[in-house]
Structure 1
Amino acid sequence: MGMARMTKIVENAADLERELFWFRSVLEARIKIHFGEGATEGSVLDIAPPDLDGSSSEYAGFVRRHQLSFVERLALVLALVPHLRPRLLDACFGRDTAVDRRLTEFGGAQLGSDGELLPTAETLAFLLGGDDLALRFSVQLLLDPEHLFARHDVLRLGGGDGVTPMKAPLRISEELLCRFTTGEPRRLGCGPGFPAQRIETRLGWEDVVLQPSTRKHLEEIETWIEHGETLMADWGMAGKLRPGYRSLFYGPPGTGKTMTACLLGKSTGREVYKVDTSLVVSKYLGETEKNLGRVFDQAERRGWILFFDEADALFGKRSETRDAHDRYANQQVSFLLQRIETFDGLAVLASNLRDNLDDAFARRFESIIYFPMPRAEERARLWRQGLSPKARLDGSVDLEKIAREHALAGGAVMNVIRYASLQALREGGRPLTAEDLLQGIRKEYAKQGKAG
């Protein structure tokens, strides 16, 4: 573990210890007031939270950035307690021995028949004011969809259908939990419920070979990433322009579409998430929309670039409705059309053929960028850049001639280099020969259904 990461952990732990001490003070005061033990006058609102102005922890930064009120801060700590020090809540989840039941005024939701009890909005209302209706109503304001807790995915309510908001468990987002503890964001795993995964590259713009016209069009996207927020907010264009930016990359396979999406993220400090189309489409009505909705929501909150490879699998042309399957497929395309149009971020769709996409999508792209097959001089550069500095070439190899005679995209060139390099390594690291490269080229042609 690096020193920088360890420093973050220590800073977070120190501030959260202070916050937990404050929470315990509020809890003990509320219980004493509730049971008439000691002073019954005053309010827990008089117990000031710790001053974090001089701290550089992730938690302190979040509190300052959002200027959290007493109620908001107590709600945040309450949601953290089960993860940090669950025993602090034991006093809230006792039983009334006179009637042999749980103390319902403390709130709390039980996980399973013998599971632990989690704090709810009802628990927060009890901590703040017991039976005070005004304070109870202030808690309900925290659950509003327009509150920062919902807009920034800070707290969410657990529980299933039929559970009233005040009785649903308060859950902190996993991303914030990771930031407040380890100081690092949680990497979301790809799966049926979240059909996207992060993609990245170690290469730079100098390593990708693009025609000048293609590179020029990409500058428009970089400009939007850098100045889009100023355009919408400071220049007041939010009411006149659609949110976000949508771009279509189209062209033959292996021409650099995925690599370019990765480099756009790398050069602008944004994570790129590739949507896995095989995990998106579900046979269950509504599941596709729900799964994609999660991806769009997370991307908006975290500023991701969304990349849809083979986009025509999701955004293909709507067909004539002949049966329920066609109707549902068209419904999915309509949902995607609406969702991507309101996406407040950068969405890149990649397709081999521009005409494969639904016409309604094509009209909504801010840019459509063609990735053509590389020309002979660009192919020569791909061959030269693709070879390892440690690779030795036999005298029979003429890269310029190979580039002229074989029209391969960058991805195919790298496949050939991989094949030829492994043949040389298998035989003691000998020089690569023209025959090694030609064998690899024939394999690539065979994959494409072409004669070598």
Structure 2
Amino acid sequence: MEHLTIKENANTILKELEWLELLINNRLSHFFNPKEEFDYPLPPVLTRDESVFAKFIMQNELEDIDRIIIAMALAKIVKPQLFDPLLLKNKTFDTHYANFGGLYDKSTGRFEPTLATATFLCYNDNLLDKLNFIERFTSKRVFNHNEVLVLKPIDEGDHCLNQSINLTAEYYELIVTGKSYSPRYSSSFPAKELKTTLDWKHLIVNEQLFNEIEHVSTWISHQREIESNIYLNRIVNTGYKCIFYGSPGTGKTLTAALLGKKHNLKVYRVDLSQLVSKYIGETEKNLSRLFDKAENRRWILFFDEAESLFSKRTEVKDSKDKYANQQTGYLLQRIENYNGLVILATNLKPNIDKAFSRRIQSHLYFPLPKTEERYKLWKQSFSNIVDFPDHFLKTISEKYELSGGNIKNIIQFAWLSSKKLGSNIKENHVLAGIKKELSKEGKSFGTN
């Protein structure tokens, strides 16, 4: 299937590059023979193409020049020789033709196309068309919100047409392989993708909490509608922030993963140990890089143990207090402006700064499961592993206050204990696991 996707994308790319090559040749022919009528080649018809690249072009309703820009960015990587005809020099001045835009790369001997190259190919010297292009391009959502391109000025202070064209890693991967982009964990992006093989039936929570989760899910479903409605987005935030708080092991992380899975969105769990720095200004830089990369991609950002980063501001007594408060203020600003879903997970909600709380749309409390919920967790967890009598599951559900995370640890302990003895899981293995888990939390095994 993966091989087929790459093949389909390659066929679409080939069509676009053949069109680009024909456009270059026809434009140059007309440039050097202006009396001849310019033969504008029509773009490939992609309505029957099933490739991810073709769907991207059609769904975003790309104009001819938009497609040419992307084709040039691809040609730089897979077929740079397409630009060789643009290396021609003006013999009168012994320089490259300024009309062609672009840059001669001395290190490679190649022509580096710019936006000016695209306008030359599509519009030649038609000033009105060029000005209209500049106005449209600076506001075009597919380029400026989706971050399809990396545009770099040739010289500092150059106008927008003098920018070299490169595809972002995200869209190169999408166009070539059909896969959505996943940044690698690094110092500039200290977050790992959070996935789950579980489904909603595995999330055992009370009805009130489930309704709150559904509320967040509804916002995700209608996010695009909010963004596109100029009247609605004046009142309703285009981003959504919520706090998941409660004891460990009660389903906060699973809920975040399930929301992403339901809506086919990537969820990234931010590594706060790599984000927070003792050096002044470094934490803000790390946060800036993180949010810049996530912006406009609809990623869900999941900050676990958020109290370490979003703690209450303190009275300023020294420079450290002042810096800490500035850091919190910066966080407020970036989260306020983020247009996706941000989830702050904490076991210690009272430690979250009040200014954050005011900006939070939903506060979701994940309590320890009640007896009935614990029974469902035990029964579901042992399903297809061991068949315990129902009265045993009800007894341990009633007697021991445990979270879903506790139960998971207990089952692992019981399974390993049984393997050591070469037997199936027995009730005494489970009880030993419960005792061990309770002792970790300073609770007595005999306490009801």
Asked whether the 8 Å contact 1:32–1:40 carries over to 2, the reply is no
Residue in 2 aligned with 1:217?
Answer: 212
Residue in 2 aligned with 1:346?
Answer: 341
Asked whether the 8 Å contact 2:226–2:236 carries over to 1, the reply is no
Equivalent of 1:56 in 46, 50, 60 = 50
Task: Assess, with a 3 A threshold, how the Cα gap between structure 1 residues 281 and 102 changes in structure 2: closer, same or farther.
Answer: farther
Alignment coverage as a number of residue pairs = 443
Q: Structure 2 regions of 5+ residues with no counterpart?
A: none
Deviations 1:352-377 (A, max 9, x none): 01111100111122221111112233
Asked whether the 8 Å contact 2:12–2:51 carries over to 1, the reply is yes
Counterpart mapping for 1:336-375 below 5 A: 336-375=331-370
Residue aligned with 1:303, SS = coil
Do structure 1's residue 404 and structure 2's residue 401 form an aligned pair? no
Alpha-carbon distance between aligned partners in 2 of 1:160 and 1:360, rounded to the nearest angstrom: 43
Task: Assess, with a 3 A threshold, how the Cα gap between structure 1 residues 301 and 357 changes in structure 2: closer, same or farther.
Answer: same
Alpha-carbon distance between aligned partners in 2 of 1:371 and 1:356, rounded to the nearest angstrom: 16
Residue aligned with 1:302, SS = coil
Residue in 1 aligned with 2:14?
Answer: 17
Asked whether the 8 Å contact 1:109–1:119 carries over to 2, the reply is yes
Equivalent of 1:381 in 376, 383, 387 = 376
TM-aligned CA deviation for residue 307 of structure 1: 1.7
Asked whether the 8 Å contact 2:86–2:100 carries over to 1, the reply is yes
Asked whether the 8 Å contact 2:226–2:238 carries over to 1, the reply is no
Deviations 1:312-365 (A, max 9, x none): 122211223344443333223212212222333322211101111100111122
Alpha-carbon distance between aligned partners in 1 of 2:7 and 2:108, rounded to the nearest angstrom: 35
Deviations 1:120-173 (A, max 9, x none): 224334434556555554554465255531122122213699363444421122
Alpha-carbon distance between aligned partners in 2 of 1:412 and 1:136, rounded to the nearest angstrom: 64
Asked whether the 8 Å contact 2:223–2:238 carries over to 1, the reply is no
Comparing 221-230 with 249-258, greater Cα deviation is found at 221-230
Residue aligned with 2:212, SS = helix
Task: Assess, with a 3 A threshold, how the Cα gap between structure 1 residues 236 and 102 changes in structure 2: closer, same or farther.
Answer: closer
TM-aligned CA deviation for residue 261 of structure 1: 1.3
When normalised by structure 2's length, the TM-score is: 0.85
Asked whether the 8 Å contact 1:391–1:421 carries over to 2, the reply is no
Do structure 1's residue 189 and structure 2's residue 189 form an aligned pair? no
Alpha-carbon distance between aligned partners in 2 of 1:196 and 1:167, rounded to the nearest angstrom: 35
Task: Assess, with a 3 A threshold, how the Cα gap between structure 1 residues 432 and 228 changes in structure 2: closer, same or farther.
Answer: same
Alpha-carbon distance between aligned partners in 2 of 1:269 and 1:433, rounded to the nearest angstrom: 40
TM-aligned CA deviation for residue 178 of structure 1: 2.1
RMSD, aligned α-carbons: 3.3
Alpha-carbon distance between aligned partners in 1 of 2:75 and 2:102, rounded to the nearest angstrom: 13
Task: Assess, with a 3 A threshold, how the Cα gap between structure 1 residues 79 and 405 changes in structure 2: closer, same or farther.
Answer: same
TM-aligned CA deviation for residue 412 of structure 1: 1.6
Task: Assess, with a 3 A threshold, how the Cα gap between structure 1 residues 196 and 111 changes in structure 2: closer, same or farther.
Answer: farther
Alpha-carbon distance between aligned partners in 2 of 1:126 and 1:283, rounded to the nearest angstrom: 51
Asked whether the 8 Å contact 1:209–1:378 carries over to 2, the reply is yes
Asked whether the 8 Å contact 2:84–2:111 carries over to 1, the reply is no
Asked whether the 8 Å contact 2:8–2:50 carries over to 1, the reply is yes
Residue in 2 aligned with 1:281?
Answer: 276
TM-aligned CA deviation for residue 49 of structure 1: 1.6
Q: Identity over the aligned pairs, expressed in percent?
A: 36
Deviations 1:402-442 (A, max 9, x none): 333332211121111112211212332x0223443344334
TM-aligned CA deviation for residue 193 of structure 1: 1.4
Task: Assess, with a 3 A threshold, how the Cα gap between structure 1 residues 441 and 52 changes in structure 2: closer, same or farther.
Answer: same
Deviations 1:238-286 (A, max 9, x none): 2222223222110011111111111222233333222222232345665
Residue in 1 aligned with 2:199?
Answer: 204
